[in-house]
């Protein structure tokens, strides 16, 4: 009997050069595809499939099966595929047989190449395999439709519940057109009827794709967990949810919904880069202070044809949960870019939870007024601010982690404005944000920039590493901002910072001639400290002062988290599993 240990076989396959040609699009191969797969026509035959991870993090699809040689002797055949994130189909892959060792022996097995095979992952319930043996092998060509060996109670053969790709791709629906890549469909113009974007398809945004009309043709766009959406690569591609319509993009920790560049391993060409496409925009009917009265005619800064605003604070624009947006921030003209996530007068009936903005060219998330609330935000290597608010945003946010990258114009952690045209406009911007960890770098802007008359409450935070010359951990600017806050000895309560740790090359900065200093404002409030937060990466060490440096917030929105920063320990790292390249 031959010796067959996966790790040894994998090493030998790599050394012998078993490589594949892959197709990239929908269906993300995860460990949920691992297990025994039977030939649908010949249940006594099949393959064992594993999804392995190399020490460097690369993924390998590993297959092995039992068969008989030309003389009727039992033999094992095996193959493996190095695969990237969105690869689902492989052709021209070599397969072979290992001989020359035993379970108790220490000999190195020898790989005999027997031919090539094609593998296509169709869904949780189907993988197609075809083998083309070489003449010397004595084996016969075979094509197999594999189904999982177990059958669910429903009678549908599938992997476990965490495998979300339940149906195979069968073509593009009416109103869309086939894309260049396999299993891709192009979205254009306005979606005016309820529609579900299934996860067996890569959906390509071609230009501005609107969901519904402006409080007309009210439409619900549902996006299944694990769905991949990309830009088209040549235009200002972005998704815009109109006032009165909703998006239900409700991913999971094990199957997030991903919006990204077409060059992010999906199509051939250059490497993905910030500003490759637009982003995700939600527009609603909640109040703002720029157009507070009917007809509520606020206009998007990136497209004056798109309106938002209203008088419905509890308006719902739907659900964004477990959603990544990568390489966004297309530049229309100078100063007119789309953020990764843009919220225009979005109401607090909207669910925003577990969102990541990765290498966007503009802000991670920006609120233009509204009352929307947010939990679990990750902004990594962004080109502009991590959290930006304007036009009277009055929502709440808890658990936010940001880390700047280097080299393409990073700006502030918080950029906080009431309104740039009327800095005393009402209702004044006054969000409450708790449990944030913002880590800057040598090219970043200010950690916290309070400007243009804003109010707001920042609680239980860590801000460190915003070390660029001329920048600071905390910068307060513009006369209406000082006036709204009161004075360090007589705070108005409209602007507060408490239980926050700062640690930058320059801690404080204010305008020349300011009525008081940012330092005096900071030190006048409880729990604040200029100190090393003692982080290991972005997580607190066991002896970190932030673990006992926070407070509870008496508001039902906020989860009990009486520590400073976004995390209480490595065991409480809520970024795990669903994010991309967080460190």
Give a three-class secondary structure readout of 399-422.
Answer: EEEEECCCCCCCCCCEEEECCCCC
Per-residue pLDDT tens digits for 74-93: 889 999 888 888 888 999 99
Asked if 250 and 362 sit in the same domain, the reply is: yes
Average pLDDT of 129-145?
94
Put residue 513 in one of left, alpha, beta given phi > 0 → left and psi -120 to 50 → alpha.
left
Average pLDDT of 507-533?
98
Looking at residue 56, its pLDDT comes to 82
Kindly report the number of other CB atoms within 10 A of residue 430's CB atom: 20
Model confidence at 256: pLDDT above 80: yes
Looking at residue 24, its pLDDT comes to 58
Q: Does residue 582 sit within a domain?
A: no
CB 351 within 8 A of CB 282: no
Q: Does residue 61 sit within a domain?
A: yes
Q: For strand 456-464 and strand 495-503, is the pairing parallel, antiparallel, or unpaired? A: parallel
Report how far residue 286's alpha carbon sits from residue 208's, in angstroms, rounded to the nearest whole number. Answer: 23
CB 137 within 8 A of CB 115: yes
Model confidence at 8: pLDDT above 70: no
Asked if 321 and 206 sit in the same domain, the reply is: yes
Q: Does residue 157 sit within a domain?
A: no
**Token pair of 81 as six digits:** 């595929």
Average pLDDT of 292-316?
97
Distance of CA 285 to the CA centre of its chain: 26
Average pLDDT of 115-120?
96
Looking at residue 18, its pLDDT comes to 44
Average pLDDT of 95-99?
88
Looking at residue 23, its pLDDT comes to 52
Is-cis flag, bond preceding 427, omega within 30? yes
Final residue of a structural domain among 126, 148, 170:
148
Least confident of 10-24, 239-253, 392-406, 455-469: 10-24
For the chain, the average pLDDT equals: 91
Q: Does residue 352 sit within a domain?
A: yes
Beta carbons within 8 Å of 162's beta carbon, 6+ residues apart: 30, 32, 252, 254, 255
Per-residue pLDDT tens digits for 202-244: 999 999 999 999 999 999 999 999 999 999 986 689 999 999 9
Asked if 477 and 360 sit in the same domain, the reply is: no
Asked if 344 and 467 sit in the same domain, the reply is: no
For the chain, the first-to-last Cα distance in angstroms comes to 45
Looking at residue 583, its pLDDT comes to 84
Asked if 325 and 395 sit in the same domain, the reply is: no
Asked if 232 and 355 sit in the same domain, the reply is: yes
Asked if 326 and 475 sit in the same domain, the reply is: no
Please give the helix or strand (H or E) that residue 282 lies within, else none. strand 280-283
Asked if 412 and 361 sit in the same domain, the reply is: no
Q: Does residue 473 sit within a domain?
A: yes
Looking at residue 406, its pLDDT comes to 72
Looking at residue 110, its pLDDT comes to 83
Looking at residue 13, its pLDDT comes to 44
Looking at residue 25, its pLDDT comes to 59
Looking at residue 102, its pLDDT comes to 64
Final residue of a structural domain among 319, 347, 372:
372
**Residue 36 sits in which domain range?**
6-148
Asked if 282 and 329 sit in the same domain, the reply is: yes
Looking at residue 269, its pLDDT comes to 66
Least confident of 234-238, 346-350, 571-575: 234-238
CB 340 within 8 A of CB 279: yes
Average pLDDT of 158-173?
85
CB 49 within 8 A of CB 39: no
Distance of CA 58 to the CA centre of its chain: 19
Looking at residue 101, its pLDDT comes to 65
Model confidence at 31: pLDDT above 90: no
Asked if 208 and 61 sit in the same domain, the reply is: no
Model confidence at 449: pLDDT above 70: yes
Asked if 91 and 202 sit in the same domain, the reply is: no
Per-residue pLDDT tens digits for 436-445: 999 998 889 9
Put residue 407 in one of left, alpha, beta given phi > 0 → left and psi -120 to 50 → alpha.
left
Final residue of a structural domain among 372, 391, 417:
372
Looking at residue 529, its pLDDT comes to 98
Q: Does residue 288 sit within a domain?
A: yes
Asked if 362 and 429 sit in the same domain, the reply is: no
Model confidence at 106: pLDDT above 80: no
Report how far residue 208's alpha carbon sits from residue 221's, in angstroms, rounded to the nearest whole number. Answer: 15
Looking at residue 331, its pLDDT comes to 83
Per-residue pLDDT tens digits for 140-156: 999 999 999 865 334 45
Report how far residue 487's alpha carbon sits from residue 480's, in angstroms, rounded to the nearest whole number. Answer: 12
Report how far residue 166's alpha carbon sits from residue 490's, in angstroms, rounded to the nearest whole number. Answer: 61
Is-cis flag, bond preceding 288, omega within 30? no
pLDDT bin (cut points 50, 70, 90) of residue 514 is: very high
Kindly report the number of other CB atoms within 10 A of residue 153's CB atom: 5
Q: Does residue 438 sit within a domain?
A: yes
**Token pair of 414 as six digits:** 């918080």
Report how far residue 496's alpha carbon sits from residue 477's, in angstroms, rounded to the nearest whole number. Answer: 15
* Total domains, the chain: 3
Q: Does residue 308 sit within a domain?
A: yes
pLDDT bin (cut points 50, 70, 90) of residue 158 is: low
Average pLDDT of 299-322?
97
């Amino acid at each position: 009997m031959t010796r067959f240990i996966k790790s040894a076989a994998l090493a030998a396959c790599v050394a012998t050069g078993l490589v594949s040609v892959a197709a990239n699009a929908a269906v993300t191969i995860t460990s949920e595809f691992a297990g025994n797969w039977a030939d649908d026509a010949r249940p006594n035959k099949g393959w064992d499939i594993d999804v392995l991870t190399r020490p460097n993090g690369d993924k390998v699809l590993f297959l092995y099966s039992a068969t008989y040689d030309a003389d009727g002797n039992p033999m094992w055949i095996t193959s493996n595929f190095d695969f990237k994130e969105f690869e689902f189909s492989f052709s021209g892959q070599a397969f072979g047989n290992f001989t020359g060792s035993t379970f108790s022996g220490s000999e190195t097995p020898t790989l005999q190449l027997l031919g090539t095979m094609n593998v296509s992952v169709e869904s949780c319930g189907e993988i197609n395999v075809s083998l083309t043996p070489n003449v010397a092998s004595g084996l016969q060509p075979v094509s197999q439709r594999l189904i999982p060996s177990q059958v669910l109670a429903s009678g549908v053969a599938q992997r476990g519940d965490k495998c979300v790709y339940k149906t195979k791709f069968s073509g593009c629906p009416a109103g869309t057109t086939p894309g260049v890549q396999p299993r891709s469909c192009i979205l254009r113009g306005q979606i005016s009827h309820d529609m579900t974007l299934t996860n067996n398809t890569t959906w390509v945004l071609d230009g501005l794709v609107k969901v519904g009309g402006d409080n007309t043709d009210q439409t619900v766009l549902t996006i299944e967990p694990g769905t991949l959406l990309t830009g088209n690569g040549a235009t200002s591609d972005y998704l815009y949810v109109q006032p009165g319509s909703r998006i239900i993009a409700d991913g999971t920790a094990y199957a997030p919904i991903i919006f990204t560049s077409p060059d992010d391993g999906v199509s051939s060409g250059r490497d993905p880069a910030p500003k490759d496409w637009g982003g995700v925009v939600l527009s609603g009917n909640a109040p703002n202070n720029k157009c507070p009265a009917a007809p509520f005619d606020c206009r998007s800064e990136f497209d004056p044809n798109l309106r938002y605003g209203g008088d419905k604070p509890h308006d719902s624009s739907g659900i964004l949960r477990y959603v990544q947006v990568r390489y966004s921030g297309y530049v229309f003209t100078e100063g007119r870019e789309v953020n990764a996530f843009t919220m225009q007068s979005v109401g607090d009936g909207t669910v925003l939870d577990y969102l990541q903005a990765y290498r966007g060219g503009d802000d991670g998330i920006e609120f233009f007024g509204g009352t929307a609330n947010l939990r679990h935000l990750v902004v990594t290597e962004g080109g502009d601010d991590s959290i930006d608010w304007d036009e009277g945003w009055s929502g709440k946010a808890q658990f936010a982690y940001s880390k700047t990258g280097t080299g393409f114009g990073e700006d502030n952690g918080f950029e906080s404005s009431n309104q740039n045209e009327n800095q005393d406009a009402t209702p004044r911007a006054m969000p409450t944000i708790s449990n944030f960890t913002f880590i800057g770098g040598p090219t970043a802007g200010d950690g916290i920039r309070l400007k243009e008359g804003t109010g707001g409450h920042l609680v239980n935070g860590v801000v460190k590493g915003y070390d660029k010359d001329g920048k600071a951990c905390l910068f307060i600017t513009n006369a209406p901002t000082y006036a709204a806050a009161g004075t360090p000895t007589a705070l108005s309560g409209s602007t507060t910072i408490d239980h926050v740790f700062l640690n930058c090359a320059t801690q404080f900065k204010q305008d020349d001639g300011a009525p008081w200093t940012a330092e005096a404002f900071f030190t006048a409030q409880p729990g604040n400290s200029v100190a090393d937060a003692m982080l290991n990466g972005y997580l607190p060490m066991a002896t970190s002062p932030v673990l006992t440096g926070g407070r509870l917030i008496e508001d039902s929105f906020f989860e009990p988290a009486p520590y400073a920063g976004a995390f209480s320990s490595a065991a409480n790292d809520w970024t795990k599993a669903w994010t991309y390249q967080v460190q």
